[in-house]
Chains A and B, each alone.
Chain A
Amino acid sequence: MSLPKRSFDTLIIGAGGGGLRAALQLSQADARVAVVSKVFPTRSHTVAAQGGVNAALANVLPDNWHWHMFDTVKGSDYLGDQDAIEYMCRAAPRVVYELEHFGVPFSRLDTGHIYQRAFGGQSRDFGGDQAARTCAAADRTGHAILHSLYQQNIRARTHFFDEYFAIDLLSDAEGYFLGAVAIDIASGEPILIEAKTTILATGGVGQLFRTNTNALVNTGDGMAMALRAGVPLQDMEFFQFHPTGIAGKGMLITEGARGEGGYLLNGDGERFMERYAPNAKDLASRDVVSRAIATEVREGRGVGPEKDHVLLKLDHLGSDIVKKRLPGIRETVMAFLHIDPAETPVPVYPTAHYTMGGIPTDRFGQVVVPEQQGAEEAVPGLYAVGECACVSVHGANRLGGNSLLDILVFGRAAANHIIDHLRDSRYHRPIPDGAIDSAMARLARWNQQGKGESVPALRRELARVMEDHCGVFRNEGVLAEGRKKVLELRERMHDAYIDDHSQVFNTARIEAMELENLMEIGVATVTSALARRESRGAHSRIDYPERDDVHWLKHSLFSLDGDKMDYKPVRMKPLTVETFPPKKRTY
């Protein structure tokens, strides 16, 4: 079967900050670039990033990249690769200045320099006093970055396939990646996009969990495409949660609510944090509060008809305090629950926020895989950047302000590497017969008529199982049962059908393919979490509460072939400075 074909130097799948930064660099170097995005580019999830970008500019307080590097290594609980972290922290000032030149309206000091705010986890002099390292455009940094990058790409003549959904990658027998098959969501027509190099930039996979902060589009499409193409996923057990999201909906209720005197109640009306943290109570660290909430619910002391959440009580603070000091929280609660937190307690549950794991890459954005148990080798023609990738600069936990930095630094680095590569590759490699068959079969599968499992119901069930069995409460029994359930769900997908077989704007078919992607990543995540018998960063095991550097200072790799785990060493050696050896992490 043949498809309409378009040819480019580089295909980028995903139009968030990482994809657009790479696209811009390439287009400015006169490469022919296509960006495929299932939503209009400026609707990508980068738009929701409020915090800012870390860079040691030293505009507000003394700072340097080496301190930033120390904080990032420590924050990663020593699982971050120190060569990539050094590279990122050194490149940070430059990417911020570039953004400024692209038109991002950073907040400023009276002197005219870029304003920098202090965030948790930022220190001066290797763990000393608080630093101020985060550059922000008010509370709309992601929005400003995304719009500026999109406009610059239009100027640089990047070609956009808006509202196209990428189905699968194409490769040849020698393992070169050659582009992808995508479908125009509006017409339902498939298209072959041929490219000398392909960058995956599809973001995170928060939709794996029932309660999460992510946009509905964050279904890990790039990660799943990589898995199906034989690339393992790295460190998928590390998922960042916030203790209090609006239950079942996910929007974040910041720590500020508890800082102002709010506290948590279980179904018996008990202020349960007193049992878990007698001193700090509701202001205990994030992981302690998260696990306490999950424990209450697991032990049957939840609230609501399904006893699946707890309550955050704010009404005792009085209407004036809530309105004056917590206006944003009040707005969110009123918009989504139609209750006033000044009068009624708010249903909350830990909410999934950020995917530290992803497609393994080196610091040039090249996807790398272990070669026959030997050293890593780059996969020819395939790159990944941003939240879908695992460079790994975040290791076991990400610092606030480092995710926007990650997408900018490595979007740019991948593009620069590709520009060099394109100089030596004037022609496209031939696309072998049958290369599109598996992608087309994946599409055709959803045209089958039949009655069976419902796609939306399976998605709800998967998100529920992941939340219950691979969320913040993890031990051998819970994870093993979770893995069994996710594997069963993946089997049940074979019996799933959709009723809508039309071509034009068939969102049911897109959602079905997104669910296939989520299923694969669900298996990867729960399998990796079950295997890692230690607590490190965001992966916290009740049965193995300590970090175990002797056995577990290594990256996990999950392969779809046999659902197998493998491991590889952490790159402890930075580029030019001394290694930061693992130490106990205290803040």
Chain B
Amino acid sequence: MLELDLLLRDFLDEGYAALDDAGRHQFDAMLDYPDAVLLEWLMGRIQPADKDVAQLVATIRSTAAG
């Protein structure tokens, strides 16, 4: 869906390169979640229970181009 396409594309362009190996693995693992879950997280409606995922989601949200 468009919302995820734009948020994740912006992150890949602007923020992904700054992740370390563990962060990149985590990003990869995060993408296994269904679109509806990712959308809730990235729109800030729900906080991921896992602290590391929550941190990654916050980074992606702040990277989205204004």
Contact = CB atoms under 8 A, between A and B. Distances in A.
What interface size band does chain B fall in? 10 to 19
A143 B2 contact: no
Interface string B21-59: 000000000000011100000111100000000000000
A181 B42 CA distance: 37
Contacts of B66: 337-339
Nearest to B32: A40
A339 B66 CA distance: 8
B3 A331 contact: no
Nearest to A142: B1
The winner among A140, A147, A336 for most chain B CB atoms within 10 A is: A336
A273 B22 CA distance: 53
Contacts of A249: 2, 6
B26 to A, nearest CB: 19
B1 A334 contact: no
B5 A143 contact: no
A43 B64 CA distance: 20
A348 to B, nearest CB: 15
Contacts of B7: 335-336
A213 interface: yes
A42 interface: yes
A73 B34 CA distance: 36
Contact of B2 (A214, A331, A334, A335): A214
Contact of B5 (A147, A215, A332, A338): A215
B35 A335 contact: no
A143 B36 CA distance: 7
Contact of B42 (A140, A212, A335): A335
Given A334-B44, A335-B61, A215 B2 contact: yes
Contact of A47 (B6, B36, B42, B61): B36
A215 B1 contact: yes
B2 A250 contact: yes
Contacts of B42: 335
Given A214-B2, A215-B1, A42 B43 contact: no
Nearest to A212: B2
Contacts of A487: none
Between B1, B3, B5, B44, the greatest number of chain A beta carbons within 10 A of the residue's beta carbon is seen for: B1
A216 interface: yes
Nearest to A49: B1
A48 interface: yes
A332 B43 CA distance: 7
A22 interface: no
Contacts, number: 51
A45 interface: yes
Interface string A332-346: 101111110000000
Interface in A204-257: 212-217, 249-251
A214 B5 CA distance: 10
Contact of B44 (A45, A140, A335): A335
B34 A147 contact: yes
B5 A47 contact: no
Contacts of B6: 249, 336
Given A215-B5, A331-B45, A42 B64 contact: no
Nearest to B3: A251
A335 B9 CA distance: 14
Interface in A1-52: 42-43, 45, 47-48
A213 B1 CA distance: 9
Contact of A331 (B5, B34, B43): B43
A143 B61 contact: no
Contacts of A216: 2, 5, 9
A216 to B, nearest CB: 4
A197 B6 CA distance: 36
A203 B46 CA distance: 30
A332 B1 CA distance: 14
Contacts of B2: 48, 212-216, 249-251
Interface in A319-375: 331-332, 334-339
A215 B7 CA distance: 12
Interface in A290-338: 331-332, 334-338
A336 B3 CA distance: 9
Contacts of A140: 36
A217 B2 CA distance: 9
A47 B1 contact: yes
B32 to A, nearest CB: 10
Contacts of A48: 1-2, 35
A472 B4 CA distance: 26
Contacts of A147: 34
A103 B2 CA distance: 26
Nearest to A213: B2
A338 B66 CA distance: 6
B36 A335 contact: no
A518 to B, nearest CB: 16
Given A45-B1, A332-B43, 13 more contacts: A47-B1, A47-B36, A48-B1, A147-B34, A215-B1, A249-B6, A251-B3, A331-B44, A331-B45, A335-B3, A335-B43, A336-B64, A338-B66
Interface of B: 1-3, 5-7, 9, 34-36, 42-45, 61, 64, 66
Interface of A: 42-43, 45, 47-48, 140, 143, 147, 212-217, 249-251, 331-332, 334-339
The 4 A-B pairs of least Cβ separation, nearest first, read: A48-B1, A338-B66, A216-B5, A143-B36
7 contacts: A47-B36, A143-B34, A214-B2, A215-B1, A334-B44, A335-B44, A337-B66
